[in-house]
Structure 1
Amino acid sequence: MRSPQELIEGYRAFRRGTYCDQAELYETLGKGQNPNVMLIACADSRAEPSDIFNAAPGQLFVMRNVANLVPPYETGGGQHGVSAALEFAVTALEVEHIVIMGHGGCGGVQASLSAADHNPVGEFIAPWVKLLDKARDKVLSENPDDPQTALEFAGVEASLANLMTFPFVSERVASGKLSLHGAWFAIALGELYWRSAETGKFELIEA
């Protein structure tokens, strides 16, 4: 746990260390960004994309939200934070890859399962995780031993499907300019599973 003062001390350590080592990189990044990967991850503090993929500043365009969800394309009503980030990444930055990364022990997925048991969580969380309803109901109908983990994987699949409802995504996928990928990170073990484009199955990446 960190206090505001510890955050400030962390910044000072960053200035003395990482920034000094990468000052030239930061000067270049100050003129603009050019990542070729968009990564949509959970807001969970334990699954940090830059650490998991050993990425330097400027290499990943990261969007984080509860349960790493992508809503389907729609233009009416509401706020569209995920859709706006997606549009910018694809049409302005012209990223070549989009990765949806789920993780073990996801609280958003747990909230979806809780709602299925007539116990919705939160004023804003419950409506948001309704995006998982269809995937959750399918998972529960299949009666897996571990519905939490099964839905974490199924949620990645659901978001990949929703990505394809955006015209600017589907058009670029069809033309070969954009590729979509799924991943899942086991926090306790530090292991990454990557969705095979050929089989659609999540396979453990050997360290």
Structure 2
Amino acid sequence: MKNIRIMTQIIFLIFFSFVIVNGNMVLWLVIFLLSLLGAAVFGRFYCGYICPMNTAMGVTAKLAKRLNWQMKSVPKVLKSKSLPWIVLVLMIATMIVSKRVLQLELPILLMLMALSIIITLRYEEYVFHNHVCPYGALLSLTGKGAKFSTKVDTSQCIGCKKCEKVCPSMAVKVDEKEKVAKINPALCHQCQSCTLICPTKAIRYTKI
């Protein structure tokens, strides 16, 4: 499962690079829109398997943790619920102004990717995923009602919190009273990292 996800991420990263080089951003927009609609049924698979920013952030996070660069405390400005929507408006406004006024095609997605890498060098991955990324904000709206998603069988869960530690988006939380893990489909990337590490095989991708 892990190898399949990594290979899929690499393939889409190469494809994204091809799209950037050829300036065909409409094609990538189509992929995202299809993923946005698909999230209503299959969950946020775009984040876990397709998103080039997530792929770059995964590598960045490993490097940052090894060098002990990441900080636990997160500034309030990066916790604002309105921040990803502000970023989305700024992206759209920049694209319109650059194209119509400056007659330029600015690499907005590359700029957003650079921002994701910079933030992940200092903070854990969930900070960008949940509080900055405009794509994540849009996907959380359709993904929260997904028909299929990663789910915990509470009868088998032992509350070990291993799933919490590997989740890049903090979608998994162990209830302190019930001592069982619960997954928020609005945040879950469907990456299956929690499924692979669960010692009792209590987590699986299934119909909700």
Question: With structure 2 as the length reference, what TM-score do the two structures score?
Answer: 0.26
Report the structure, 1 or 2, having the larger strand content.
Answer: 1
Higher relative contact order (CA 8 A, sep 6+): 2
Report the structure, 1 or 2, having the larger helix content.
Answer: 2
Question: With structure 1 as the length reference, what TM-score do the two structures score?
Answer: 0.26
